[in-house]
Structure 1
Amino acid sequence: MPPPPRPRIFHGWIVVGAAFAVMFAGFGVGYSFGAFFTELEREFAARRGDLAIVFAISGALYFGLGLASGAAADRWGPRRVAFLGMAIMTVGLVLASRADALWQIYLASGLGIGIGVGFSYVPSLGAVQPWFQRRRAFASGIAIAGIGAGTLVIPPTAAWLVDGLGWRTSYLVLAAGTLVVGGGGALLLDSRPQRRGLAPDGLPAGPQAAQRATGVDFRTAVRSQPFRLLALAAFLTSFGIFTPFVHLAPAAVDLGATAPMAAALLGIIGAGSILGRFVIGSAADRFGRRQALIGVVAAQAALLLFWSLADRYWMLAAFAGAFGVSYGGYVALMPTLCADFFGARAIGAVMGAVFSGISVGCLLGPPIAGFAFDATGSYAWPVAGCALLTAVAAAASLRLPDPDRWTDRAGGAG
């Protein structure tokens, strides 16, 4: 009996599109907090440090829950876990629209968005990795471009909604979009190409391909030098990655920009990150993912130093675009390097463990920058501190071994 015909579209690309939709909704809504910042500041007479805690809570949970959600996805499948995340996020946004005190925003927006993204990010991104080998960074870049596209579209849209409908109704509109786009994408996730008779990159499944997709177990991975270096770099860069998403828009307002101009900076980061995911991800597949990671982390350090010295709106806009490119490349490269070193056997748990350190930096970085501004009236010193930590992360990345050579010593991890 002849084998069934191969589908015209490799199913791995459908999974990539599903992951794109989940991250578009999750991170796009999460990173739109800057569009609500000024209105919430007025509504609750809050300091910037107090408001930054809202984003810090959610951002910490994005990655602090990665280990648990990744392990759950390895066991029960990414579809169930990611859809649960999108449902929780929807409920949180609805409750935020009814908040009468800042602590309710902490719980509804901070916890609701944080848990929602935390349950969906690692499972959706982890679902992509087993479908690709040769074009893994490119495929991951497309999936993670959902973050950039969401950041490009949703924060400016949220600012327009807040201006026209008020912040409470705007939260309800975002809730509906999250359920439709993010929830719909979650239902299409699948991390088992072998169930369709396929190996990575659409090849027919076979013994050699199955062995390649297995990799090392979680315990072996977390005891290795590459894991420690990747986790350290992720932790150190997290301070500088998340501070702009909270404080770049208020910094622009301080320089005389209007609220729409300030919110546009987040859109510029999103546009730059889309470019970074495609260009850097594709180039990294050809010229080396380790080398690309070193380059983008070093670039982030230099750009944060530039921001600390910026005193014009155009300088913030230039920072936003260039930072978006480096950030986009960075978030595309980290999961692919996890898969390169450790394979797909426990990819969800490994990625979650690497990213768990990010939660600490996200929890501390934006509030520290906010309270430093409250005390000094300037973002210069906290942003320069973020640049220093990111430079140390670049030095840690330099110590990473070559993934192919380390794989050989580890007995076929990738």
Structure 2
Amino acid sequence: MPGALERPEGCWAWVVLLASVVAQALTLGFPACIGIFFTELQREFQASNSETSWFPSILTAMLHAGGPLCSILVGRFGCRPTVMLGGVLASLGMVASSFCRSLGQLYLAAGFFTGLGLCFSFQSTITVLGFYFTRRRALANAVASVGVSLGITLWPLLARHLLEELGWRGTFLVFGGVFLHCCVCGAILRPVAPSVAPGAAPASREGPPVPSKSPAPGRLAACGRATLRYLAFDILWQNGGYRVFTLGVTWMILGFPLPQVFLVPYAIRHGVDEHKAALLISIIGFSNIFLRPMAGLVAGRPNFARYRKYLFSLAVLLNGLTNLVCTVSANYRVLVGYCLVYSVSMSVVGALFFQVLMDVVPMDRFSRALGLCTILESISILLSPPMAGFVLDSTDSNFSYVFYMSSFFIVSSALFMGGGFCALQRKERQGRPAGTEAAIPEAAIPEAAPLPALPGEDPGSAEKQPCTEEITYVTSV
């Protein structure tokens, strides 16, 4: 409908920004409350710590790994239908999970389908911000990140209250209705007028054309080639800075989500009241409401560009060392102080993640680099909680070992990234070309050699896929 098209930076852009804040609160904030149901699910299904840990790991992994599929849907149908589809899918997953009779069914319903739906809703609302905001894009992303903090603050409180009143099955049923609000957020995302935003084609219903003359095998070959181009292994091989960053972050994620999953069960096991235990996660989220936008705006200043990689490594190091506090004492006041310090490092890590990636990778390759990094993250997220659950089962539910494990992965990744960035900078100063692609001006970086055409593929099909590298997908650390 031509009358429904909006202009970038117009009045409706701020309504879209508000919708993005709400969508992030609903989607990215939700995994923070999963730890509240850990003990109830373990008791209900008579499961071990490792078996129960697969539920939050699958949900969070799908929240990150669904990016490639989300990119196809956004390019084909636009952001608005994709957000609404995600809300419906997340709602159906939670409603179905309230009737589950086994952990396997819970993995499929609340883990796979809800996680995939949350991914669709979250990434599409972030993508559309790039079309609505041009001059104020940094400000829009900083404001949108407040939604994550709001979700981390409110979801645990709501989950604790509903769990006492309705049980976990009734709570999951209510959550299914809450996720339908993603459809409302999606309905607000009107397409941007292509006349004033030439790059906004993905926000409309128009997608990349499918060659009608190619047979079905040719389409499959083109799809496979596009997938290989999206998974930026060529950048991983050629760019030393991106290699250090991606490997370090992938290793870090093995320990990064563990405090949010196991902090509440840890506090309850050491005699902390259940309400106070749930409040710990809310303290982290409430602090992030103010810290994350401030850190994002400060990190975006040009005079911080040279030091962002090292500030990121330092924040990761602080985050890992902070987790050692939980191995010393489970006193509630100590845990509150831990949450405050943890939220500071978490905010800086979240704010600098995308800035550092933009520093080490040229912008014309950013979406591909982010896609590969996201997929590798999802593998680590999938493995991390079950590994911690196995440690708990092997140590008679001694949560101290979980926090030791978290600190080991995070601290070692910080040392690896800091040392790797220093080594690359030293090579750059000595004039050695290896690993210095990130320091070369973008215009001087040659484009990677195109992948050879697969059998049955039109040699010119690579030029017929403009949306493959134009859409930027953002996920939360």
| 1:282 shift after superposition | 0.8
Partner of 1:328: 347
Q: Which amino acid aligns with 1:273?
A: N
Q: Which amino acid aligns with 1:252?
A: A
Contact 1:79-1:187 within 8 A present in 2 as well: yes
Q: Which amino acid aligns with 2:311?
A: G
Partner of 2:90: 89
| 1:262 shift after superposition | 1.4
Relative distance call for 1:193 and 1:411 in structure 2 (3 A) is: farther
Structure 1 residues 100-179: aligned runs within 5 Å:
100-132=101-133, 135-179=136-180
Q: Distance in 1 between matches of 2:173 and 2:265?
A: 24
How many percent identity over aligned positions? 26
Gaps of 5+ in 2: 1-5, 200-227, 426-435, 448-468, 471-477
| 1:146 shift after superposition | 1.3
TM-score (norm 1): 0.82
Q: Distance in 2 between matches of 1:221 and 1:169?
A: 43
Q: Which amino acid aligns with 1:107?
A: L
Contact 1:123-1:348 within 8 A present in 2 as well: no
Contact 1:22-1:185 within 8 A present in 2 as well: yes
Relative distance call for 1:285 and 1:183 in structure 2 (3 A) is: same
For residue 285 of structure 1, the aligned residue among 295, 300, 309 is: 300
Q: Distance in 2 between matches of 1:70 and 1:395?
A: 34
Contact 1:241-1:327 within 8 A present in 2 as well: no
Q: Which amino acid aligns with 1:28?
A: G
Q: Which amino acid aligns with 1:72?
A: L
Relative distance call for 1:375 and 1:221 in structure 2 (3 A) is: closer
- Structure 2 counterpart SS, 1:187: helix
Relative distance call for 1:66 and 1:105 in structure 2 (3 A) is: same
Contact 1:63-1:118 within 8 A present in 2 as well: yes
| 1:189 shift after superposition | 3.6
Contact 1:126-1:351 within 8 A present in 2 as well: no
Q: Distance in 1 between matches of 2:195 and 2:340?
A: 40
Q: Distance in 1 between matches of 2:108 and 2:8?
A: 46
Partner of 1:300: 316
| 1:172 shift after superposition | 1.4
Q: Which amino acid aligns with 1:362?
A: I
Relative distance call for 1:240 and 1:72 in structure 2 (3 A) is: same
For residue 382 of structure 1, the aligned residue among 389, 405, 408 is: 405
Partner of 2:210: none
More helix per residue: 1 or 2?
A: 1
| 1:279 shift after superposition | 0.7
Relative distance call for 1:195 and 1:116 in structure 2 (3 A) is: same
Relative distance call for 1:109 and 1:134 in structure 2 (3 A) is: same
- Structure 2 counterpart SS, 1:239: coil
Partner of 1:223: 234
Q: Distance in 1 between matches of 2:412 and 2:71?
A: 27
Q: Deviations over 1:339-394 (max 9, x none)?
A: 67444x78665533321111011111111122112212233331232333431345
Q: Which amino acid aligns with 2:163?
A: V
| 1:122 shift after superposition | 2.8
Relative distance call for 1:46 and 1:132 in structure 2 (3 A) is: same
Relative distance call for 1:118 and 1:227 in structure 2 (3 A) is: farther
- Structure 2 counterpart SS, 1:162: helix
Deviates more, 1:47-56 or 1:321-330: 321-330
Deviates more, 1:56-65 or 1:305-314: 305-314
Structure 1 residues 166-315: aligned runs within 5 Å:
166-180=167-181, 182-189=182-189, 195=194, 197-198=196-197, 223-224=234-235, 225=239, 227-286=242-301, 287-288=303-304, 291-292=307-308, 294-310=310-326, 311=329, 312-315=331-334
Partner of 2:37: 36
Deviates more, 1:292-301 or 1:98-107: 292-301
Partner of 1:22: 23
| 1:128 shift after superposition | 2.3
Q: Deviations over 1:277-329 (max 9, x none)?
A: 21111101224367345424422332322322421333332232332333234
Partner of 1:61: 62
Contact 2:245-2:417 within 8 A present in 1 as well: no
Q: 2:387 matched to 1:368? A: yes
- Structure (1 or 2) with the larger CA radius of gyration: 2
Q: 2:442 matched to 1:407? A: yes
Contact 1:275-1:325 within 8 A present in 2 as well: no
| 1:227 shift after superposition | 4.3
Q: Distance in 1 between matches of 2:309 and 2:198?
A: 27
- Structure 1 counterpart SS, 2:47: coil
- Structure 2 counterpart SS, 1:70: helix
Relative distance call for 1:146 and 1:397 in structure 2 (3 A) is: farther
Contact 2:21-2:144 within 8 A present in 1 as well: yes
Q: Distance in 2 between matches of 1:315 and 1:176?
A: 37
Deviates more, 1:364-373 or 1:326-335: 326-335
Relative distance call for 1:296 and 1:406 in structure 2 (3 A) is: same
Q: Distance in 2 between matches of 1:118 and 1:290?
A: 32
Q: Distance in 1 between matches of 2:368 and 2:299?
A: 24
Contact 1:56-1:367 within 8 A present in 2 as well: yes
Relative distance call for 1:334 and 1:166 in structure 2 (3 A) is: same
Partner of 1:210: none
TM-score (norm 2): 0.72
| 1:101 shift after superposition | 1.9
Gaps of 5+ in 1: 201-216
- Structure 1 counterpart SS, 2:101: coil
Contact 2:299-2:351 within 8 A present in 1 as well: no
Deviates more, 1:291-300 or 1:220-229: 220-229
Q: Which amino acid aligns with 2:316?
A: Q
Q: Distance in 1 between matches of 2:158 and 2:290?
A: 20
Q: Deviations over 1:193-230 (max 9, x none)?
A: 56262599xxxxxxxxxxxxxxxx96696533254444
Cα RMSD between the aligned structures? 3.4
Q: Which amino acid aligns with 2:382?
A: L
Q: Distance in 2 between matches of 1:303 and 1:236?
A: 14
| 1:96 shift after superposition | 1.1
